[in-house]
Amino acid sequence: MMPVSIWKKCAREAVAILCLALVPTVAMAWIHRGESKSAWNRAVIAELSVGEAGAPGAIVLWVDARPEADFSRQHVPGALSLDEEHWEALLPGFMAAWRPGARVVVYCGDQQCDRSREVAERLQRELQIGPVYVLKGGWAAWLGAQKP
């Protein structure tokens, strides 16, 4: 059996190690105070086909989320350009054009492209204007639907 003095020495050293370990922990908590743990929670964005988006009687506000160069070449007639790279500059144009009851449909290049979903999520989140849709198949689907 070890002498009591050895136990006391071990206990003191254990407390010292614990205190040392707490220093970086407290420092990090202080540095990151006010930050909340990210809660991964993406909004649900519904998709519409070309036919569904332009159903008779629907007032559609088309939003083109592609890069500016693609938009300049060709876009859905009447569409507004809105991409995240130029969000602050382009958002006022969207806000001026929006009307209550308008169906907002965002498109990008094709079904693989995620830009339209990200713009749709951001519009829903920031403007709180109700559901914003994504065009199924994107610009490629729109072009396909125009062929006779």
Partner 1 sequence: MAGGLVWEKSDADLIVNDPEQASTSADFAFRNESNRSVTVVKVTTSCGCTTASLDKKTYAPGERGKIAVTVAIAGHTGMLQRFVYVATDDQPPNAIPAMLTVRLDIREYLNIEPRMVFWSRGDPETEKTITCTAGTTRSVIIRKLEADHPDFTFRIETVEEGRKYLIFLKPVSIDKAAFDTLGLVTEVSGVGLRVFNAAASIK
Phi, psi of 127 (to 5 degrees): -95, -25
The CA distance from 84 to 103, in Å, is: 20
Kindly indicate which of the ranges 18-26, 46-54, 58-66, 90-98 contains the residues binding partner 1, using the contact rule CB under 8 A.
Answer: 90-98
Work out whether 110 is an interface residue with partner 1 (CB under 8 A): no
Q: For partner 1, which is the closer residue by CB, 103 or 122?
A: 122
Work out whether 121 is an interface residue with partner 1 (CB under 8 A): yes
Q: For partner 1, which is the closer residue by CB, 7 or 87?
A: 87
Q: Is the torsion defined by CA of 111, 115, 108, 41 positive or negative?
A: positive
Q: For partner 1, which is the closer residue by CB, 24 or 92?
A: 92
The CA distance from 101 to 94, in Å, is: 14
Q: For partner 1, which is the closer residue by CB, 25 or 112?
A: 112
Site string for partner 1, 68-87 (x = CB under 8 A): ---------------xxxxx
| Full strand arrangement of the beta sheet holding 47-48 | 47-48, 132-135, 103-107, 60-64, 80-81
Contact positions with partner 1 (CB under 8 A) in 124-143: 125-129
